[in-house]
Amino acid sequence: MDLDLQDLNLAESRGGAGPIRPDPDAPGSNLRHRVFETVRSAGQISRIDLAKQLKVSPASITTLVSELLDLGLLQENSDTSRSTTRGRPPVALSVQPDAGYVVGIKLSRFQHTALLVDAAGQPLAEASLPCLPRRRSLDQVLTETAEVLDMLLRKADLARGDIACIGLGLPGIVDHASGQMVWSPLLTCRAKPLRRIAEDAFGVPVAVDNDANLVTLAELWFGKGRAMADFAVVTVEEGVGMGLVINHRLYRGAGSLGMELGHTKVQLDGALCQCGQRGCLEAYIADYALVREASTALDPASTEVAASDVMLQQLYEQAKAGNEAARVIFRRAGRFLALGLANVVNLFDPPLIILAGARMQYHYLYADEVMREMQGLALNRQTAPQQVETHAWGDLMWAHGAAALALSEIADAMAEGR
């Protein structure tokens, strides 16, 4: 298992942002949209290379590029990748950064994190707001969201009216297409039209999704997944989530409610999950599952009033120091994680699984055992073990994914000049 604690190899994103699709005939968008997205993905590209990549005549590219230049969505730059000794300097195309600004916000129990991104996908400002780790009303969460949003905009000297879209992600079950929040461990309420309520509160178009999809979008737009047609992301933090990319696109399921790996059942009538059901995978490996077991390995006096994040850190330190009870807790969680990953392999057979989330800092306590058990439970993996990478990014990376959600939401409108 490879370990990369850097922030999503963001150096790679300086050459562009968005999925790199080798197939010029990808369905789902018109040609002008594909021109715009291809330029953004490349970062900088000449008209000739753009025509070759999209397999379109240079004349057609010239017409479409002229329209996008007139709309203020593209700009011309000196092409530093080509050199010439005479005549007109070569020209490359890139996205006009101020063509539109979006904000990505990741909501969580301990901290809300916001990121401002320009139309080219480059980050401009960030902000965070610490929170009390408890469930709260939707009104309270929206008040906190407004606070971190305005904090971010003050840093960038922008107003809400300057923002084209806000991408909003939170843990739980979220119907992206309808904008409905079905359930979240962050909230005391269920079944709320989150997108509509947020748009009314902020006066800005909003796109909503669950936080596991945010990390997957971050990989797809800014990370190792940019050039991969298919891959899966599994997140382990307050809960357990999964995102799946098929043919360079995030797959959500028929009702936008799929990929809930954390709520697949691994033991009938098993441990109580925070969703209210029993035997869910996350009830054995998420933060609250480890905290539930921590009192068996730690001094009871030290756990009576300790916050959950403090207890997790204490459990981690005890395991590193050789406390057998603490190590057993991590090994047991690792076995259930191996079971979940094997199920992902057997169902989807992705060429790459990325494990993400702050809890990946604990992985080395049981990583080798997890990989061996996963391979043993997966079918036909003796000769070609599944590739698994671990990325222990913080909340800012989730906010990158929320910004990618917003960028993808407005891409059609931008390309059409709406």
Question: Contact, 216 vs 196, CB < 8 A?
Answer: no
- Chain Cα centroid distance, residue 369: 27
| Lookup: tokens for 237 | 């933090």
Report d(CA 337, CA 286) in Å as an integer.
Answer: 10
Distance in angstroms (rounded) separating the CA atoms of residues 341 and 349 = 10
Which structure tokens are listed for 135? 């469930």
Domains in the chain: boundaries:
2-98, 100-218+396-416, 227-392
Domain 100-218+396-416 has CATH 3.90.1150.10: no
Backbone torsions φ then ψ of 114, nearest 5 degrees = -125, 145
DSSP string, 73-108: SEEEEE-TT---SSSSPPEEEEE-GGG-EEEEEE--
The one-letter code for the residue type at 299 is: D
Determine the pLDDT at residue 169. 95
User: Please, which residues bridge with residue 354 across strands?
Assistant: 233, 389
**Distance from chain centroid for Cα 192:** 22
H-run or E-run covering 249: strand 249-251
Backbone angles phi, psi at 122, to 5 degrees: -95, 135
Strands (E), 108-239: 111-117, 123-130, 163-170, 173-175, 180-183, 206-210, 231-236
Query: How far from 403 is each of 166, 170, 215, 333, CA to CA, in Å?
Result: 7, 13, 11, 32
Tell me the pLDDT of the chain (418 aa) as tens digits: 333 334 444 434 347 888 887 665 555 568 898 999 999 999 999 999 999 999 999 999 999 999 999 999 999 987 766 555 555 667 899 999 999 999 999 999 889 999 999 999 999 999 999 988 789 999 999 999 999 999 999 999 999 999 999 999 999 999 999 999 999 999 999 999 999 999 999 999 999 999 999 999 999 999 888 989 999 999 988 889 999 999 999 999 988 888 999 999 999 999 999 999 999 999 999 988 998 888 777 876 655 556 777 888 888 888 888 889 989 999 999 999 999 999 999 999 999 999 987 777 776 677 888 889 999 999 866 666 788 988 766 778 889 999 999 999 887 676 555 5
Residue 383, pLDDT score:
63
pLDDT at 30: 83
What CATH superfamily classification does 227-392 receive? ATPase, nucleotide binding domain (3.30.420.40)
Residue 341 has which token pair? 């990953």
Cα–Cα distance measured from residue 128 to residue 123, given in angstroms and rounded to the nearest whole number: 15
**CA-CA distance, 137 to 143, in Å (whole number)?**
10
What's the topology of domain 2-98?
Arc Repressor Mutant, subunit A (1.10.10)
Which pLDDT score, from 0 to 100, does residue 28 have? 52
What is residue 163's predicted lDDT score, i.e. its pLDDT?
97
Predicted pLDDT at 46: 94
- Same fold flag, 2-98 and 100-218+396-416: no
pLDDT at residue number 269: 93
Residue 322 has a CB neighbour count (10 Å cut-off) of 8
